[in-house]
Amino acid sequence: MTTRIKKDTLSKVIILSAYSSQNVINEAFACGADSYFLKTTKIESIKNAIRSIYRNEEYLDQAIIKRFLELNHRQSTKIKGKKYNELPTTQEIEILKLIASGYSNKEIANQLFISISTVKSHTGNLFLKLGARDRVNAILKAQSFGYLEPSTPDWRATG
C-alpha cells in the first residue's frame, strides 16, 4: 500500500504500528515510508513527526533509532576474532522462530525439509551473528534486536 501511495500521489506516509520487528521496519522504509512509529510512542512525538515530514524533514521514532544503533554496534563487535557485519538470513530467522517455539534440530530439519547438519550450521551462524552462547540467549537477543516478537507462538499448536 505504501508503495502505491508514494507512486500515485505526493502524499507523505507515516506508519504507526504495533510491530517492532526490524524486518517489518526495514520493509516499511523499503516501500517508501517517510517515518515509522510504534503505537507506544507519545502523541507529542507523533505531532512533531507530522510537522517535520510535512516540511520534508526526517523524523524517526526514538525507540527505532535506539534499536538501530544497538544493532549497528552489535554488528561491529568482534566475535571469536571475526567481525560479523552480516544480518541473519531469511532462512536463519525461520530457524530462529522454530527454536523459539521449542523445536529440536531434528524437528526443524523435518519442518523445513533440510538436513540436521544444515540446521546446525544455520544455528551456529545465528549464534555468531547475534553474539549468543546458546539457544535461550539467542532468543533473548533476537527479541531485543527485533527479529522476534516477544511472544513467538508455538507453531506446532496450529496444526
The second-level CATH assignment, the architecture, of 2-65 is: 3-Layer(aba) Sandwich (3.40)
What's the half-sphere exposure (Cβ side, CA atoms, 13 Å) at 38?
14
pLDDT digits (tens, 9 = 90+) for 144-157: 888 887 664 554 55
pLDDT digits (tens, 9 = 90+) for 34-92: 888 888 888 998 898 899 888 888 788 887 777 777 766 665 555 444 545 678 888 99
Tell me the domain boundaries of the chain: 2-65, 76-157
Q: How far apart are CA 1 and CA 133, in angstroms?
A: 40
Torsion of the alpha carbons at 120, 121, 123 and 127, rounded to the nearest 10: 130
Q: Which CATH class is domain 76-157?
A: mainly alpha
pLDDT digits (tens, 9 = 90+) for 89-145: 889 999 999 999 999 999 999 999 999 999 999 999 888 888 888 899 899 888 888
3-state secondary structure 43-103: HHHHHHHHHHHHCCCCCCCHHHHHHHHHHHHHHCCEECCEECCCCCCHHHHHHHHHHHCCC
Amino acid at 71: L
- With 0.85 as the threshold, say if the pTM is over it: no
